[in-house]
Amino acid sequence: MARPKQVSDEDLVAAARSAFLEKGPQVSVGVIAKRLKISPASIFHRVSTKNKLLVMALLPADPPELMQLQRGPVPDVPPEEQLVAILTGLNFYFATAVPAMFLLISAGVRMRPTKVRGKSEDDPMQLRLRAALTQWLRRSNFVAATDAVAAADTVLGAIEARYMHVYLGGIRSTPVSDRKYVRDLVRLIL
């Protein structure tokens, strides 16, 4: 009979994410194990390599806003209001995803290039968000259909770039400044 897990998968992922974000991808599994009060061997028993642990801990889950975008605009709710809500959520997503992506890249983890852009669940999140936002913008008539790709690239690129600057120490992010930034972006593409 197998011994019960001492640490949940969620706790393992949270501890690994915290350690990688604090100390970088070179942090030893021993440091993570020590935080969890378990042995490194027990981590390797669940996750066969440190690289897999790194990806498991840092690759962000799909943001809920992706499904909102895929469902399309909600009737009887002003598109501007919907877009501000969606982009506010994506703003929070990129605040956590950008540092994680920097670490994955610095660790040499290669993101698989896609064959059919925007069509596969295996595509990088940025491409899936771009495709979904483009379709949402077209269906909402918020911008001209011919401008939807440029508008999607503009707002997603701006939010992602903002968090690159935050991560690199160039700017500070606060909930108030984030909300203003999102509203300014929406006004920009009107």
- In tens, the pLDDT along 54-104 reads 999 998 889 999 999 999 999 999 999 999 999 999 999 999 899 998 898
Contact between 85 and 48 (Cβ < 8 Å):
no
pLDDT higher than 50, residue 117 = no
∠ at Cα 25 (21, 31), nearest 5°? 80
Total number of residues shown for the chain:
190
Exposure b/e, 106-127, CB count within 10 A at least 16 = b: ebebeeeeeeeeeeeeebbbeb
Domains of the chain by range and CATH?
9-58 (1.10.10.60), 64-189 (no CATH)
Closest CA to 41 of 53, 51, 29, 31: 29
Q: Which residue has the tokens 């897990």?
A: 5
pLDDT higher than 50, residue 114 = no
Q: pLDDT band for position 142 (50/70/90)?
A: confident
pTM over 0.75: yes
Among the ranges given (66-80, 117-131, 151-165), the one the predictor scored with the smallest mean pLDDT: 117-131
- Per-residue model confidence as pLDDT tens digits over 85-99: 999 999 999 998 999
How many angstroms separate the Cα of 3 from the Cα of each of 45, 108, 190?
12, 35, 59
pLDDT higher than 60, residue 3 = no
